[in-house]
Amino acid sequence: MADPADVLRSTFGDELRRWRDARRFSQLALAAAAGVSQRHLSFLETGRSKPSRDMVLHLAHTLELPLRAQNVLLATAGYSPEYTERPLDDPELDEVRRVLQTALDGQLPFPARVVDREWDIVLANAAWAQLALLCGIDVPVDVGKNALRLCLHPDGIRPAIVDWEPFALSLIHRLEREAVRRPFDERLGALVAEVQTYPGIADLPDRVLCASSDDLMVPIVLETVVGRLQFVSMAAVLGAPFDITIEELHIETLLPADRHTEYALRGTIQK
Q: pLDDT band at 239, cuts 50/70/90?
A: confident
pLDDT tens per residue across span 101-157: 999 999 999 999 999 999 999 999 999 989 888 999 999 999 999 999 999 999 999
- On whether residue 81 sits in a domain, the answer given is no
13-45 burial, b at 16+ Cβ within 10 Å, e below that, comes to bebbbebbebbebebeebbeebebeeeebeebb
- 64 and 96 housed in the same domain: no
b (16+ CB within 10 A) / e for 224-244: beeeebebebeeeebeeeebb
- pLDDT band of residue 1 (cuts 50, 70, 90) is very low
Whether the bond into 4 is cis, omega within 30 of 0: no
Same domain, 9 and 45: yes
When divided into structural domains, the chain yields a total of 2
Note down the domain range covering 70.
Answer: 4-76
Residue 181: the pLDDT is 85
Name the nearest CA neighbour of 119 among 97, 142, 147. 147
Q: Are 183 and 248 in a shared domain? A: yes
Do 190 and 112 have their domain in common? yes
Task: CATH number of the domain at 35, please.
Answer: 1.10.260.40
110, part of any domain:
yes
Contact 97, 246 (CB under 8 A): no
The residue out of 52, 76, 100 marking a domain boundary is 76
60 and 145 assigned to the same domain = no
Predicted confidence band at 3 (pLDDT cuts at 50, 70, 90)? very low
**Best-predicted range by mean pLDDT (76-80, 188-192, 267-271):** 76-80
211 CA to centre of own chain: 27
**Domain assignment present for 86:** no
Task: Kindly report the CATH number assigned to the domain that includes residue 230.
Answer: 3.30.450.180
Return the higher-pLDDT residue of 266 and 240.
266
